[in-house]
Structure 1
Amino acid sequence: MEFYRELNSFTVYKNDSNRLASDYTYKYALPFERIEDPEAITVFLQMNWMHTLTISVLYYAIVRGMERYLKDRPAFSLKAPLQLWNGALAVFSILGFVRFSEDLFLSLYNHGVYRSICYSVHPNDVAAFWSLLFAISKIVELGDTLFIVLRKKPLIFLHYYHHAAVLIYTVHSGAEHTAPGRAFISMNYLAHSFMYTYYAVAAAGVRVPRWISMTVTTIQTTQMLAGVGISIAVYRIKSIYDWPCQQSYPNLYLAFLIYFTFAVLFIQFFYNAYFARKSAAKAKKIE
């Protein structure tokens, strides 16, 4: 029996025993939380994941073009749309975390770390549905940048690099059913639950204490450091212990690159936002 076939260096999974996937079934699954044809979705991602590079280039070009166009024009307020945007993404992220991470937490509890980071989600179950929505959300979230540009707020390199890199890696990982995605997606849903809730409250005009914004940035930075740690663990599992793990080396190296650069950039952002600025203010006060 043919268990799998290769296509563009990825694996299209059928009803095989070679696929390392969770066997967890959600007890309370809503009728729509199911992918009817996971193989078709997988083939589509394998054939088209590289177009995320095209989307990222267009995204950057549009952002820069809009900045030039608005240079000598007044900024838009967009208070109500921004509240709605961040509120909707906050609700989506919370729901995504609650529904998707159930699979990861129970896997950690019942099977330990190895199966939790080396076995992918079941392609027909709830977690696969929310992982697909997660990938789609990475395109939607590019709209964050439009609000920054239209309101003429400072746009730092970390912002658009983060959006583009996450989009590319997420779709590439979906194309090969990357197992550590169970942890990566759960962490991102959780971080975005806090982040977009914070943004929604701030957009409503509520004065948010400084420690809350520091907490949000700390959660984001911790997510990146955890991503590096998980990638190191997978590398050891594959290269030292030679155990099977549902992640290719190219995808693993890409994870290393992205999470390491994210960690460095977020630590730098955290320092500049909460310590360097404070030191500069003190120095100015002394003068």
Structure 2
Amino acid sequence: QKSFIFSVIYFILIFGIQHFMKERRPFNLRVPLALWSFSLTLFSFIAACRIWKQLAFLLLTKGLKHSVCSQSFYVHPVSKLWIYLFVVSKLVEMGDTLFIVLRKKKLTFIHWYHHLLTMVISWYGYKMMTIGIGWNAALNLVIHSVTYFYYTVTAMGIRVPRSIAMLITTSQMVQMTVFIILNILAFFWRDDKLCRITWPVLFLSLFLYTTLLALFSNFFVKTYLSSTRKSKWN
């Protein structure tokens, strides 16, 4: 319930500020953005290391199914803290959008859609102790540690090769593909007592990851492939 309340506040706030900023000069916010991004880089990296340690142990000792279906991430003294912080970070990361609207940068659909639904599903999934949280957190945190470091560097005014941005978008698409596969596997493992599927979360997450894969793929084609073709013809 709280996640839905925060979602409504987020939605009203970002579009309200965007409207408010229409006739006003954009804020610079270069330094705060760099600090914000770097703090999320550090958090993502540390959290990824902690969660991957638990995930790797399960994967190597008990196999893929156990690593996906095990709820030990919610009870292990170390991983339960970092899983909780990971879920909370989905709310914190919504602050990214404030920088976009206050700096009057382009607010894309994929940006707010991604932040909004990811937070809702993460919070609901955590409350229901759904399976797959370890993989979800581990992959997402690794990619976010790279992504936020990229944001940190660009906020500092350092030019980054285009190939890095392409690599980050590609990693997002790979992440969504893996999540879709894991959800499909969970569906086939539904008769196993180890895999306690929460149907609303399964369908919602499948919907989210499928749409995000489509959106990231579309973004990749339009941003990188289309522009490459144009530059070749010009």
Q: Same fold (TM over 0.5)?
A: yes
Partner residue in 2 for 1:95: 46
**What is the identity, as a one-letter code, of the residue corresponding to 2:166?**
M
Matched, 1:254 2:204: yes
- Shift in Å, 1:72: 1.4
CA distance in 1, matches of 2:21, 2:232: 34
Matched, 1:220 2:172: yes
**What is the identity, as a one-letter code, of the residue corresponding to 2:207?**
L
Q: Structure 2 regions of 5+ residues with no counterpart?
A: none
CA distance in 2, matches of 1:80, 1:193: 19
- Asked whether the 8 Å contact 2:3–2:123 carries over to 1, the reply is yes
Structure 1 residues 165 and 122: alpha-carbon distance in aligned structure 2, compared to 1, 3 A threshold: closer
TM-score, scaled to structure 2:
0.96
CA distance in 1, matches of 2:192, 2:151: 42
- Shift in Å, 1:141: 0.6
CA distance in 2, matches of 1:58, 1:280: 41
- Asked whether the 8 Å contact 2:187–2:197 carries over to 1, the reply is no
- Asked whether the 8 Å contact 2:177–2:213 carries over to 1, the reply is yes
- Shift in Å, 1:260: 0.7
Deviation digits for residues 30-71 of structure 1 (CA, Å, limit 9, x no counterpart)? xxxxxxxxxxxxxxxxxxxx2211211221111111111111
- Shift in Å, 1:246: 2.9
CA distance in 1, matches of 2:11, 2:42: 27
Matched, 1:112 2:63: yes
- Asked whether the 8 Å contact 2:30–2:155 carries over to 1, the reply is yes
**Residue 274 of structure 1 is aligned with which of 224, 230, 234?**
224
Deviation digits for residues 125-180 of structure 1 (CA, Å, limit 9, x no counterpart)? 11110010011111111100000111111110000000011100111111121120
- Asked whether the 8 Å contact 1:220–1:266 carries over to 2, the reply is yes
- Asked whether the 8 Å contact 2:94–2:115 carries over to 1, the reply is yes
Q: Which structure exhibits the higher relative contact order, with contacts defined as CA atoms closer than 8 Å and separated by 6 or more residues? A: 2
Matched, 1:72 2:18: no
Greater helix content: 2
Structure 1 residues 122 and 132: alpha-carbon distance in aligned structure 2, compared to 1, 3 A threshold: closer
Partner residue in 1 for 2:119: 167
CA distance in 2, matches of 1:131, 1:173: 11
- Asked whether the 8 Å contact 1:75–1:151 carries over to 2, the reply is yes
Deviation digits for residues 200-257 of structure 1 (CA, Å, limit 9, x no counterpart)? 011111110011111111111110111100000000111xxx2121331121111111
Q: Secondary structure at the match of 1:197?
A: helix
**What is the identity, as a one-letter code, of the residue corresponding to 1:209?**
P
CA distance in 2, matches of 1:277, 1:70: 30
Partner residue in 2 for 1:81: 32
Matched, 1:187 2:187: no
- Shift in Å, 1:272: 1.1
CA distance in 2, matches of 1:161, 1:277: 24
Partner residue in 2 for 1:27: none
- Asked whether the 8 Å contact 1:224–1:263 carries over to 2, the reply is yes
Partner residue in 2 for 1:143: 95
Partner residue in 2 for 1:131: 83
Matched, 1:204 2:156: yes
Partner residue in 2 for 1:21: none
- Asked whether the 8 Å contact 1:177–1:246 carries over to 2, the reply is no
CA distance in 2, matches of 1:122, 1:271: 38
- Asked whether the 8 Å contact 2:74–2:129 carries over to 1, the reply is no
- Asked whether the 8 Å contact 1:139–1:167 carries over to 2, the reply is yes
CA distance in 2, matches of 1:126, 1:237: 27
Structure 1 residues 124 and 104: alpha-carbon distance in aligned structure 2, compared to 1, 3 A threshold: closer
CA distance in 2, matches of 1:226, 1:94: 20
Count of residues paired in the alignment: 232
Deviation digits for residues 179-208 of structure 1 (CA, Å, limit 9, x no counterpart)? 201100111101101100111011111110
Matched, 1:232 2:184: yes
